[in-house]
Amino acid sequence: MSFGTIKLNDGNELPAIAFGTGSVWKDKEVTEFVEQAIESGYSHIDTAAVYHTEKDVGNAIKESGLDRQSLYITSKYDGGDIPSAIRDSLDNLGLKQLDLYLIHTPFFVPNQDFESAWKEFEKIKEDGLARSIGVSNFTVENLQKIVKTAKILPAVNQIQFHPYNLPQYKETLEYCAKHGIVIEAYSSLAPITRFPGGPVDAPVAKAAQRLGATPTQVLLAWVRAKGAVIVTTSSKKEHLEEYLAVADLGDYFPSQKPITRTKPRRE
């Protein structure tokens, strides 16, 4: 079974799992690992200007020999003049168009003028430089400033998302659902990698034993059950395959309702 795609509020579709080139990869040579991810079955590659991995992603795209439509490429704006920033990213990637372009964090918005920055992003979409536009690490307050005047709503909000910060993001999740904004989740394995020994360890281990899965797969299945796109990474092919196999394991959490995206609404 494939992870499939999620339909965005602009009508485009987003692959439901992505290989990320940030985090441990920042400022490192990642071409071979992106190639490995593509060979393993990942069609969605996530990068950003601040990661300094765009050129490596571009090299991997070229080396893959795949046609452009076979891959979904996300990059992110990390400050400076917005029109120049996306053109630099496109040049680094060797592409004419991104599938998704995000404002990486509210911090990078010039003068915290969210409305003006979003108008620049809308022009990026209108000019065909990105098929979809969105944000990352945005709070409800940040999103409200955009939605208030937006002609095109953000398609995505990429956030750090795992069981331990679910209460913290409850309001954000509800707001995004109301406006048809898809959640992308990164650092979802934090309960294993950063906070071992916490209260979710026991139920995760129990679910893994019952289902013949790994704790990693249980956590990713939890994210998937919440309706979020998974952004993950690894240097090891066996781990990449482990993540993809989550799609074959069914719904670990049938009693938990996923994030329900309604028809986009404005304030």
Distance of CA 249 to CAs 101, 163, 191, 221, 243, Å?
31, 19, 20, 8, 11
Q: Using DSSP, state whether 109 is helix, strand or coil.
A: coil
CA pair distance 238, 56, nearest whole angstrom: 22
DSSP structural state of residue 32: H
Distance of CA 41 to CAs 64, 71, 262, Å?
12, 10, 30
Cβ contacts of residue 20 below 8 Å, gap of 6+? 46, 47, 186, 231, 232, 233
CA pair distance 260, 177, nearest whole angstrom: 6
Cβ contacts of residue 209 below 8 Å, gap of 6+? none
In this structure, the strands spanning 5-7 and 13-15 are antiparallel
Q: Are 73 and 95 in contact (CB under 8 A)?
A: yes
Is 72 one of the catalytic residues?
A: no
104 is in an annotated binding site: yes
Q: Using DSSP, state whether 10 is helix, strand or coil.
A: coil
CA pair distance 31, 34, nearest whole angstrom: 5
Burial class (CB in 10 A: 0-12, 13-18, 19+), 239: middle
Check 42, 51, 175, 252 and give the catalytic one. Answer: 51
Residue list, annotated binding site: 104
Catalytic positions: 51
Residue list, annotated binding site for substrate: 104
